[in-house]
Structure 1
Amino acid sequence: MNAWIGILSIFARFKMRLNALKRVDLRIRLKDISEDEIKKVEKKLNLTLPQQYKKLIIQQNGGLINFNAFPTNQETSCADDHIEVDHIRGIEKDLGILESEYLIKEWGLPQKLLLIQGDGHNWVAWDYRQTNENPPVHYFDLELNNDFKIADSFDEFLSKLYTYEDETHEYDNLDFDIHTIDPNDPDAIQKEEVEKILISKNPLEIHRISLFPIQSLEDLEWILHIIKENSIEIKGDMAFELADVLMSIVSSYTHQIKSANLRKIVREAAQELGKSKNADTEILLDQFKDFM
């Protein structure tokens, strides 16, 4: 186990790869769990979890990993030679593998799966459709309507994780001439003011976030991340106003978002905003479907 942990450094750190943002997503790391609690979960689900997974979960119950990709020989909506894998779910009902039943219904996935990673349109899951133990690992790409096996076991899945680096840097020179507002405009606001507006949770102020001038990919990543973070458990008019800001940014920077592969952040933000159960917000988010 120690040798494997040393090779993969799995769950060892929780920093997002966007070091400049210095973000740690503690929501993905869940409360500690014991062997007895794991046995109760297995009994309730009437299946056996992979042994290596159980060892990892006792050490740390889920989290971001130091890798971001798994190789495939099939084209996906992510890339033509890999899928994105940057976290593994722990054991808990919310944000863990026990949320699978709800997510399966929500996204129209097959039964008898346990979802171990994903963002809504793409999922990695243990496939228990033909077995109750030692399940293969499958990938579900809802954009392309794909369901295919990527590993015969969880051990194989872990052994093939790697760090993908985009050597083409296609987005280094993306055109940012289209601005929602000029940085010299007296109405333009800085990052500090964006953060204050979000902390205040005043729906009458949220629209002012659109006055933040986006001049670079870093600016775009930052604003999308902060919107996503503040979308969690947001309700009512706040959810609608934040969804409206997100829609404005996506409409203005669709090319940049797609080229820099930032759609995942937009998806996650939209998914969180959708949990507000606000009718007006749901109508607005419905316009995201083609983009996502």
Structure 2
Amino acid sequence: MTASKNTHLQGGNLQSLVGWQPEHFGWRVEGSVGLITLNRPERKNPLTFESYAELRDLFRRLEYVDEVRAIVVQGAGGNFCSGGDVHEIIGPLTQMSMPDLLAFTRMTGDLVKAMRACPQPVISAIDGVCAGAGAIIAMASDLRVGTVRSKTAFLFTRVGLAGCDMGACAILPRIVGQGRASDLLYSGRSLGGDEGLNWGFFNRLHEPDALLNEALSWAAQIATGPSFGHAMTKKMLHQEWSMGVDEAIESEAQAQAICMMTQDFHRAYKAFVAKERPEFKGD
């Protein structure tokens, strides 16, 4: 998709990721789907200070990128992410002052804020270990696909910390319910694939060998839809957490009226009348 077609992001806001490559994780674009690969498989793909910050910056930048319409996050080597690197993050944290610790915890929270604020739906493809900050990335995604061998653990209490990390006490109960979130956040135990599907944490389960292709296929299907409409849906899902029903209904009325002004809405009507499939362009 060329920049000249995306007039709603013109005026200094439109950016491109063509040719861009991160330093601390893998990135490629397939069609309109961006694929993030956490790629330190020898240690089950832990995060570092640098990868936290680079992921945060990518998700912030995606707000201004129109050639990418959906995101998939995966881990390399049969595991998703083991959390913060014990040697490169946990050890140094024990030597930091309070101001530095707060700067770090705010930075990790900013990754979740950026994931929730980017307009593209985010799918996490979760196999094997998904622990600590890895579980948070999965939680902060819009959709989650797993395998029967997925092991998701919000293990913060097991290292002497609170379970309330990076928005977990706000977001996780909205996915699995207050009681089940309390179980996971107090115990730090692993949530298996089948249990995670039954609890609603996972949307779907697949065989490990098929996981990535299924996630990419789902993301590609989403990417063919009305990207402006999807972005509005994501924003409403997030903003309505703190609204009453009356306020939510009014917000959705305004959001839908805005979407009715898009060319995608008009294309869909014309395609329906012509008994054709609409082509959504995001404008």
Task: Please report the TM-score for the alignment, with normalisation by the length of structure 1.
Answer: 0.31
Of Structure 1 and Structure 2, the greater helix share is in: 2
Question: Relative contact order (C-alpha < 8 Å, sep 6+): which is higher?
Answer: 2
